[in-house]
Structures are given as C-alpha cells and as structure tokens.
Amino acid sequence: MHDAPHPTHRVIEGLEYARRGDHALTGDLYLPSDAAKAPCVVAVHGGAWQRGQRANYRYLGRYLADHGIGLFAISYRFAPKNLYPAAVHDARAGIQFLRAKGAGLGVDPDRLGLMGDSAGGHLAALVALAGDHPDFAGHADDAYPGVPTKAKVCVPVYGVYDMAAQWEADRSIAPAVSGAEVFLGVSLVEDRFAYHRASPINYITRASAHMAFFLCWGARDDIVDPATQSEAFLAALKRADVWARTCVVDAPHFWLSDPLGEPGSFSGFAAPRILRFLRDRL
C-alpha cells in the first residue's frame, strides 16, 4: 500500500478492502488533501466483466479529488473463472468497506456513491439499486455482513442495464461470443430468468427515489447500444420518479479512461459535468 501526496490530493494505492479466500481485493483511493471527511464514490472499471484495470480511473480520480470529491477505484474478480454474482459481491464490498472503515481514511461514510463504465456501469447500477436485495446480501461472499450498500448517487457511463438486450447485441456483433453469456455462465436461451435477475433495470421502483442518477453515454456507441441500454434505463428511472440527468457525447464506446486534458477529450467534456452533479447530489 502506497500513500502518494499531492498539493491538492493524495492517493492511497493498493488498499485492501476485502478478501476472497487467500486473495486480497484492492483499490486505489483518491482523496482531497485538505478534507477530513470527503464524500466519495466507488468506481468500477469496465472490460466485459473479464478484464480491465482500476488504473483506468487515475485521471478522473485525481480530478475529482482536486475538487473535493473522493474516488475509490476497485479491482474485482473476473469471469469466466468467477461467474456472476462474484463481481457484484466485490462491488458491494467496496461500498461496505467505505461505510465501515472510511471515517478512519478521511471519507464521509454518510455521503457515498457508485460509478462505473461499461461492465462496471452495470455493476455500479446493480449495487446501487439492489445491493441489499436478498439475491446479493447475506451470502458467504459478504465481506461486511449487515453493513448496508445504500448509496446517495450513481454515475453509470455507457453501462449495461438490460442483460438480455446486451446478449442479443453481442450475438449480432460476434455470433460465437457474448460477454454477457461469459459473465453469467449461461445462454439467454437456456435461462432467461438469470438475465432478468442480473439486470439493473429490473430493480427500478419508486423505492429507488432516494438516489440520484447521472447517466453518460456516447451517441455512436457500437458495443453497448444507447437506445436499448442507456435510453431505456433513463426512461425506467423517470417512470419511477427517480431523479436522473444525462451527459451524451458524440463518441463511440470506452472513453472515460482517456486523459481529461487532451484536445477534444470526451472524458474532459464529461468530467466537470460529473463533478457538478456530485457536488449537488452527494
């Protein structure tokens, strides 16, 4: 674990937040240097539930910390070695860790949120909406039994919210391979109910109105279809009277990890809007 100082932020790298057997789950915590109790979001990287790295949040994490918002970028277990709901339990453990231990690190445990991109957006939204649902809470993988996963905000970026729709989209792109199928370990035509249970959109109710959502996506996304995913999810949130706002950029898939300062950066366009949302709602 390495604590790297900066004039306006500090980074605690390799912070263990849970264990799975002999395996430590770790994350990088970005915090403002001058805050004793900073609001904080747990950030879950993308990669089709099979790959990726928490370092994808190094630019956004430092940016938010420079402006008073903490970010905890976590690693989690990948499919197919670890099938659903292993990654869900890991994302749950991230927010449970901050609620249980965050005060000693400079995090306000009463002002927590979730964010994620692509597959990480799916995990963030699922935990935000259903983290304490019996499907996920109280299982052997529960790192902090009884600690709630309730979040104030969720910022999913080009996320997957309807697993059945994503299976269909995956099959149209590469008929032999579906990231959703690898993650769930079963085909849609073998177990449709498994896809229903794993879809964040199916947990949206009026009881979700204690949260606020900020959805980001690219209008030219060719991996996660905006119409059947982000736009459908937004409509479901609005029908349930859940506060939701959007940031849509003229981009394909997977741009949140880009440097914010590059000319024409999509992440640079989204970052101040995400910050404003977090300041207002977290």
* pLDDT tens-place string over residues 77-123: 999 999 999 999 999 999 999 999 999 999 999 999 999 999 999 99
What mean pLDDT is predicted for residues 151-176? 93
Instruction: Provide the pLDDT for residue 223.
Output: 95
Predicted confidence (pLDDT) per residue in 199-255, tens digit: 999 999 999 999 999 999 999 999 999 999 999 999 999 999 999 999 999 999 999
Lowest mean pLDDT among 138-152, 155-169, 236-250: 138-152
Residues ≥6 apart with Cβ < 8 Å to 234: 215, 244, 246
Which pLDDT value is given to residue 171?
87
How many C-beta atoms lie closer than 10 Å to residue 22's C-beta? 5
Backbone phi and psi for residue 263, each to the nearest 5 degrees, phi listed first? -55, 130
Residue 54 has pLDDT above 80, yes or no: yes
Mean model confidence pLDDT for the chain: 95
pLDDT above 80: residue 10: yes
Q: What is the pLDDT of residue 4?
A: 53
Q: Which residue has the tokens 């879809």?
A: 199
Is residue 143 within 8 A of residue 19, CB to CB? The reply is yes
- For domain 2-281, give its CATH number from 1.10.8.100, 3.40.1710.10, 3.40.50.1820, 3.10.110.10: 3.40.50.1820
The terminus-to-terminus CA distance of the chain in angstroms comes to: 28
pLDDT exceeds cutoff 60 at 2: no
| CA 201 vs CA 76, 87, 236: distances in Å | 22, 18, 7
DSSP H stretches of helix in the chain: 58-66, 86-101, 119-130, 163-173, 179-184, 192-197, 232-239, 266-281
Residue 182: what residue type? V
* For the chain, domain boundaries: 2-281
pTM score of the predicted model? 0.96
Using the predicted structure, report yes or no on whether residue 135 has a pLDDT greater than 70: yes
**pLDDT (tens digit, 9 = 90+) per residue, 164-191?**
999 999 988 877 789 999 999 999 999 9
Judged against a pLDDT cut of 90, whether residue 6 lies above it is answered with no
Residue 143: per-residue pLDDT: 85
Which burial class, exposed, middle or buried, applies to 162 when counting CB atoms under 10 A from its CB (0-12, 13-18, 19+)? Answer: buried
Whether 26 has a pLDDT exceeding 80, the answer reads: yes
pLDDT score of 53: 98
